Chains A and B, each alone.
Chain A
Amino acid sequence: MSEAVEKIAPSTGSAVAKKEPRILVCDGNEAAAWGVVLSRPDMVAVYPITPQSSLAEYVAQFVADGVLDAELVEAEGEHSVLSVLHGAALAGARTYTASCGQGLAFMFEPYFRTPNLRLPIVMSIVNRDGITPQCVWGGQQDAMTVREVGWVQLFCETVQEVLDTIVMAYRIAEDRSVMLPVNVNHDGNYLSNGIVRIELPDQGEVDDFLGMPDVNWHAALDPDRPMGVDPLTGGATGPGPALFVGYRRGHCEGMQNALRVIVEVHEEWARRFGRRYAPLVEEYRLDDADHALVTIGSMAGAAKDAVDAARDRGERVGLIRIKTLRPFPLDAMVAALDKVRAIGVVDRAVSYGWNSGPVHQETLAALQHCRHRVPCLSLIGGLAGADLTQTHFERAIAETAKLLDAPCPREPVWLNAEDR
């Protein structure tokens, strides 16, 4: 493959001809497609949807140019996309797809089933807000809505992290103690179309890191190993409830194992490729902080700038960034939350049932395990492609600081409510 990449890359217009590491100047969707190339899936199935479309187009172009030696299925819709990959994975293929928003909604039936089949499929969600009203822009309502389906969910901050995390996702998904599908989330618009300089890891080194696909040892469509896949279980008769409970408990154990594997895989990535990411929860300037923001996804960059500015003014503020939302990194989150006396959670999605944000609710659940009671404010911003700037986060920090000596409001703060 490395030969093919060397040969083809100049004509695709994507790569700058330089010595190792190869440098690309590209957006998050192209970076994701390069992550797919490096992971060498056997089969890719996609259906385009904004803002994922250019990712699907890059992957299709790479297949057409011979950069990626994979079978590409252009299915008639997202339901078929994931159903095709079920068959492929059960036949032993390493597989990839990407979707978002309404595409993910149309995919839901097989999506709901993928983790229960324990298929290690990797899928990018190029996060998009939900309709209606009409909106084709970024927001994390799609991924947040499906956070209880049983996929591993990782959220990236930078374009480089998108590429690196897609490769790492295969190691996590295919780990024999995990065997679960992984969503690699990157924010629509700001990451999908934001252009920066990134480094492209060497294909041979990625091959050593990933190893061969190990996909269907446990459940297979294979004439040489006939087995009943997805048997009828549960109920009060027949096999009885215990078998079904076994499946559910096994799934939960796989999720808990994923916490350990995600850490190990990120550490190995840092050793081999020199880029270190907090695998579960990142702590930024937190050790002596009075209060902190909790963020997720690409917003963390501007939020860290706001934290630095507040620190320059003498405020003791820090930041917590969630990389792994599912499985929820309870111990890492509790350790971080225990360091501060007030929390403001900035969500790029809405929890309608709680009049707050989904990550706010997750944080409240984690706070139950902290030593002290810590007030926790919900802030919602960045919906439908709205920009979250340093100014928005300076306000978020100020609102959070108020909790140090005043009661915590139950209403969320809508950060873009005045932006026209």
Chain B
Amino acid sequence: MFEVRLHGRGGQGTVLAAGILAKALVAEGKHVVAVPQFGFERRGAPVAAYLRASETPMRAMTNIYAPDCVVCIDSSLPRVVDIFAGLRAGGTLVQASRLAPQDIVVPVSVATVAVCDAVGIAREVFGRPITNTVMLGAFARATGLVSLDALERALEETSFRDGGLAQNRRALALGHARTVVHRVERREAA
């Protein structure tokens, strides 16, 4: 089982991204449960979505408290929300940021940091900072859990409020191509 928590702000398409990822994983034969965090639906407010993928069927329709991977599609959110809460040891962070992965401050539970300038790509593609599909490309690059091909097909089955299919395809591809993945080396304490 692999558990993912997606963080974003209302209006960026965090919950929609979880739905697209669910479609792609199902197309690749995985069992999936995706549940959004329930909060007030306001633009700009922190939101989260949970996704659980497994080779075997799952019954629990619950939130996720100990994710293997955290995807943060907003660069300013880590200042507001503890995005690392409960992250399992050896976990992966996929972060929207212009910083280099080595410059991102992470707790010891993080073994892999993947960074993507999602806002830059989104401005280039949509003219607006809508980062959800960009960060799905980054997630695929960082984890290898889902293929770009399956994500593209899932995009085709999704109706978008912001941007068309062609734009979102391009956002996905650029997100995948321009993500830098860094394995954190930890020295033994002296």
The CA of A14 and the CA of B23, in the complex, are separated in Å by 10
- Which of A138, A190, A195 is the one whose CB lies under 8 Å from B22? A195
Instruction: Give residues 118-174 of B contacting A (CB, 8 Å).
Output: 157-159
Please state if A305 and B59 are interface contacts (CB–CB under 8 Å).
yes
- Closest chain B residue to A50 by CB distance? B41
Query: Contacts A194-B61, A197-B26 known; A25 to B35 CB distance under 8 Å?
Result: no
Please state if A195 and B18 are interface contacts (CB–CB under 8 Å).
yes
Residues of A within 8 A of B157 (CB): 10, 13-16
Residues of A within 8 A of B34 (CB): 194-196
Query: Contacts A15-B157, A194-B33, A196-B33 known; A25 to B23 CB distance under 8 Å?
Result: yes
A-side interface size class? 20 to 34
A250 within 8 A of B: no
The CA of A215 and the CA of B154, in the complex, are separated in Å by 41
The CA of A196 and the CA of B26, in the complex, are separated in Å by 9
A315 within 8 A of B: no
Query: Contacts A14-B157, A195-B18, A195-B22 known; A301 to B60 CB distance under 8 Å?
Result: yes
> What is the distance, in angstroms, from B1's C-beta to the closest C-beta of chain A?
12
- Which of A15, A136, A189, A301 is the one whose CB lies under 8 Å from B59? A301
- Closest chain A residue to B34 by CB distance? A195
The CA of A187 and the CA of B22, in the complex, are separated in Å by 21
Query: Contacts A13-B157, A15-B157, A16-B27 known; A195 to B32 CB distance under 8 Å?
Result: yes
Residues of A within 8 A of B65 (CB): 389
The CA of A301 and the CA of B22, in the complex, are separated in Å by 19
Residues of A within 8 A of B62 (CB): 190, 301-302, 387-390
Instruction: Give residues 165-216 of A contacting B (CB, 8 Å).
Output: 187, 189-191, 193-197
Residues of A within 8 A of B22 (CB): 25, 195-196
A412 within 8 A of B: no
- Which of B35, B38, B58, B159 is the one whose CB lies under 8 Å from A195? B35
Instruction: Give residues 11-39 of B contacting A (CB, 8 Å).
Output: 15, 18-19, 22-23, 26-27, 31-36, 38
Please state if A25 and B26 are interface contacts (CB–CB under 8 Å).
yes
The CA of A23 and the CA of B157, in the complex, are separated in Å by 12
Residues of B within 8 A of A189 (CB): 35, 38
A137 within 8 A of B: yes
Please state if A385 and B38 are interface contacts (CB–CB under 8 Å).
yes
Please state if B159 and A13 are interface contacts (CB–CB under 8 Å).
yes
B-side interface size class? 20 to 34
> What is the distance, in angstroms, from A418's C-beta to the closest C-beta of chain B?
14
Residues of A within 8 A of B40 (CB): 136
Contact string against A for B residues 32-57, beta-carbon threshold 8 Å, 1 for contact and 0 otherwise: 11111010100000000000000000
- Closest chain A residue to B25 by CB distance? A25
B63 within 8 A of A: yes
Query: Contacts A193-B35, A196-B32 known; A16 to B23 CB distance under 8 Å?
Result: yes
The CA of A385 and the CA of B59, in the complex, are separated in Å by 18
Residues of B within 8 A of A302 (CB): 59-62
> What is the distance, in angstroms, from A18's C-beta to the closest C-beta of chain B?
9
Instruction: Give residues 61-101 of B contacting A (CB, 8 Å).
Output: 61-63, 65
Please state if A301 and B26 are interface contacts (CB–CB under 8 Å).
no
Q: Number of A-B pairs whose CB atoms are under 8 Å?
A: 76
The CA of A27 and the CA of B18, in the complex, are separated in Å by 11
Residues of B within 8 A of A187 (CB): 61
Please state if B59 and A190 are interface contacts (CB–CB under 8 Å).
no
Please state if A191 and B61 are interface contacts (CB–CB under 8 Å).
yes
> What is the distance, in angstroms, from A218's C-beta to the closest C-beta of chain B?
39
A304 within 8 A of B: yes
- Which of B19, B36, B59, B61 is the one whose CB lies under 8 Å from A25? B19
Query: Contacts A14-B157, A16-B157, A189-B38 known; A195 to B61 CB distance under 8 Å?
Result: no
Contact string against B for A residues 8-32, beta-carbon threshold 8 Å, 1 for contact and 0 otherwise: 0010111110000001010100000
Residues of B within 8 A of A195 (CB): 18-19, 22, 32-35
Please state if B38 and A197 are interface contacts (CB–CB under 8 Å).
no
Please state if B59 and A12 are interface contacts (CB–CB under 8 Å).
no
> What is the distance, in angstroms, from A399's C-beta to the closest C-beta of chain B?
20
- Closest chain A residue to B41 by CB distance? A50
Residues of B within 8 A of A389 (CB): 60, 62-63, 65
A127 within 8 A of B: no
Residues of A within 8 A of B19 (CB): 25, 27, 195
Residues of B within 8 A of A385 (CB): 38
Residues of A within 8 A of B33 (CB): 194-196
The CA of A16 and the CA of B33, in the complex, are separated in Å by 17
Residues of B within 8 A of A388 (CB): 62
Residues of A within 8 A of B159 (CB): 12-13
Specify which of A25, A298, A300, A385 lies most central, judged by the most chain B CB atoms within 10 Å of its CB.
A25
Of the A-B pairs whose beta carbons lie under 8 Å apart in the complex, a sample of 9, sorted by A's number, is A190-B35, A190-B61, A193-B15, A193-B35, A193-B36, A194-B61, A195-B22, A196-B34, A302-B62
5 cross-chain pairs, A with B, having the tightest CB-CB distances, nearest first: A301-B59, A13-B159, A195-B34, A302-B60, A190-B61
Given contacts A187-B61, A301-B61, 18 further A-B contacts (CB under 8 A): A25-B22, A25-B26, A25-B32, A136-B40, A193-B35, A193-B36, A194-B35, A195-B19, A195-B32, A197-B26, A298-B61, A301-B60, A302-B61, A305-B60, A385-B38, A387-B62, A389-B65, A390-B60
